[in-house]
Structure 1
Amino acid sequence: MGWSSALPLLFVTALIVFEERVSVPNCEIVTADGHDLDGATDGPDDLKVMMVADLLLMGSDASFANIYFRYSYTTKFFRKSFERLKPDMLIVLGDVSAKGSELTDSKWLSVLQQFQRIMGPFLGLPLHIVLGDRDVGECCKLNAKSVDWIASSLPGLDSGGCGVFEISNVSFVSLNAVALLCGNNDLRFSMEKFIERESLDLRNHVKDTKEGLNEPNEREDDFSNFHWRENSVSSGSGPVLLLHFPLHRTIGSNCDGNDAPSRNRGRFHNKKSRSFANSGFAGTEPYELSHTIPPNATEYIFQALRPRMIFSAHTHQFCDHIHVDGTREVTVPAMSWEVRNDPAFIVATFRPNNMVTVSHCSLARESCILMAYATILVLLISVTFIVRISHLVI
């Protein structure tokens, strides 16, 4: 019966192989209307950016299941994704924390430490993190001091939670989209000023490029109500826009038809919508999955920034949407088993010919992994029982 003593080792080996295989992401290229893949082969000058959203980390308040199961697998997901995809940069589109706005400074730091442990090899890459509503709170809790403190602990953000950076000749602008949903407050005005400054820089850059002029234009400083200015810059000539909330979409447009292959929602998905003003946090449960930037703010952003492409999050599901002016917006799904049975992310590859290729990458379903664990456990118990019976018979 020497074979019986080797069974535990075989089960452990099978479990290790299983965990390694289910940690590998399954990626497929997603095309939008009017976008083809001619010449979409990877090149040495491409910029490959992995984008994730809604990690919803709990820090020191994490449960046993989260620490030793979900976060453990998420760490393996990131390691395998890094090894397989070899990205040049990582962007997190908000909601790093499940309830960051309610945390003390020390507990926020525990979330960031947990984030660093999970990221693993990605910490050696350029990193940018966009602020989400769970990070800074809804409108009634939003204040400039707390946003400044959180933004100061994240790379590349100013005191209002916005950022501007360029990598491999691709320009990015990130906005604190939460402030754009709120009424008349200092952070809302700060966003408008930031957008207007970036709009001025864009207009001057285009003007200098076309006419060789370097003289700045005079501008007004009244931003109290989305002050409009004529922008001669053509649509799609601006930066890549990053924000947590999707921009407003026209009535009748929905992403169900353009969604990635059908995915199951996580057990915390709310079927009934609630307004932003009446929403509240309850653990890691998403309180609302349909928020978008208001129409006037959306139009203001399009007019001022002329974004080349937009990446957003918050809805917890993938969406590839074309706005009326032809601008493409990709909404990144949640990277958390708290809200999805199968976490997912995207990889955006920016090519020198201005084409952007988007790959939707899905990870293993939590239910499948749990079922596999249960099956292995039952088999192990059954074999152990059979071995013991055999010994008694002998």
Structure 2
Amino acid sequence: MVIADTHLLGSRNGHWVDKWRREWQMHRAFQTAITLHRPEVVFVLGDLFDEGKWCPEKEFNDYVERFHKLFKVPEGTKMHVVVGNHDIGFHYKITPSLAHRFEKKLDAPPVRLMSVRGNHFVLVNSMAMEGDGCRLCARAVNLIEKIADILKCSNGSPLCKSNMKVDNYSRPIIMQHYPLYRESDSICTEPDAAPLPERNSLFEERWDCLSKESTEYLVESLSPRAVFGAHTHHSCMVRHSFVPTSNHKIEFIEYTVPSFSWRNRLDPKYYLLTISPKEVKVSKCGLPREWTMQVTAVVMFCVLVVYLRFSSTAAHYGYKYLSGKKV
């Protein structure tokens, strides 16, 4: 199961009633989905928090505790998160303490390789793909180089430098917050893509998506078979074909996961993945529109009032009848 952009409110933005309402909605929707589908793994693609980049230590700890309560997973299901710009800030705003506390509290290093039943996932901090040689970026690149070498060795490449391997090699799946480089969402044709004219707005590299250079670096280093990102709050599916050399082509599909929050869109979504070492099947699941939920709540409240009134009247009539009083 893949969700993204939950954007839990902090103490600065939004009224407490709105915060409580939104969080209750997401909690119920998530728990219903978990109970219904029983996924083996849940990925959360960044922007868990709306104000993680601003809040002090105590507030951040409260944030983390709320997140785990709202998105609690049952025994047998594992959750993995990648960091988003609202969690620690855009690249130019990230401090070592902001990056460290998210990594420590959410167990989310800049880059991680994990395997599930012969399927390999690379989780990437998108803000560490700036390419400017900063400490965070250098660490991320170093980890990508090591993972790339492990995958090459596992695939039997003569170019690998170490003896480390994964069991049952298959091309990896990248999980990150930013989409890969694209000029805009104009190529997105899904019904839940960005609305017009927003869809035609040009993307700013390193702000709306990864830079073109970082995208090429990730793809050529890891040769993914699928990529999942978020950040835009809208849906998109892009078929990529990279040709690093004349005799080598890297083809894969990139999915941009819409926001799971009613604050960001009227119809939140989540993805269900069925994955084997040979294929990736993706199903998109929609949540009810907020208007539908509001109308349903009003109708149910009216039904409850009528029921209580009827029950009270019936009970009063029955009492008079049984007591022998003339009605």
TM-score (norm 2): 0.79
1:351 aligns with 2:276: yes
Amino acid at match of 2:78: P
| Residues 119-138 of structure 1, C-alpha deviations (whole Å, 9 max, x = no match) | 23346521110000000101
Paired residue for 1:173?
122
1:329 aligns with 2:254: yes
For the residue of structure 2 that corresponds to 1:120, the secondary structure is coil
1:130 aligns with 2:54: no
Paired residue for 2:247?
none
Question: Structure 1 pair 384/340, CA: closer, same or farther in 2 (3 Å)?
Answer: same
From 230, 234, 239, give the equivalent of 2:172. Answer: 239
For the residue of structure 1 that corresponds to 2:122, the secondary structure is strand
Amino acid at match of 2:22: R
For the residue of structure 2 that corresponds to 1:350, the secondary structure is strand
Q: Is the 8 A contact 1:264 1:341 kept in 2?
A: no
Q: Distance in 2 between matches of 1:271 and 1:383?
A: 51
Q: Is the 8 A contact 2:23 2:70 kept in 1?
A: yes
Gaps of 5+ in 1: 1-49, 218-235, 278-287, 388-393
Paired residue for 1:196?
145
Amino acid at match of 1:133: N
For the residue of structure 2 that corresponds to 1:172, the secondary structure is strand
TM-score (norm 1): 0.67
For the residue of structure 1 that corresponds to 2:271, the secondary structure is strand
Question: Structure 1 pair 59/123, CA: closer, same or farther in 2 (3 Å)?
Answer: farther
From 42, 45, 48, give the equivalent of 1:90. Answer: 42
For the aligned residue pairs, the C-alpha RMSD in angstroms reads 3.4
Q: Which has the higher strand share?
A: 2
For the residue of structure 1 that corresponds to 2:241, the secondary structure is coil
Paired residue for 1:312?
229
Among the aligned pairs, what percent are the same residue? 24
Paired residue for 1:371?
295
Q: Distance in 1 between matches of 2:32 and 2:200?
A: 33
| Residues 265-299 of structure 1, C-alpha deviations (whole Å, 9 max, x = no match) | 7xxx999889689xxxxxxxxxx7xx111111111
1:115 aligns with 2:58: no
Gaps of 5+ in 2: 164-168, 243-250, 312-326
From 276, 293, 297, give the equivalent of 2:214. Answer: 297
Q: Distance in 1 between matches of 2:38 and 2:305?
A: 41
Q: Give the C-alpha shift of residue 348 in structure 1.
A: 0.9
Question: Structure 1 pair 350/380, CA: closer, same or farther in 2 (3 Å)?
Answer: closer
Q: Distance in 1 between matches of 2:141 and 2:199?
A: 32
| Residues 55-86 of structure 1, C-alpha deviations (whole Å, 9 max, x = no match) | 10125667433454221121111121112112
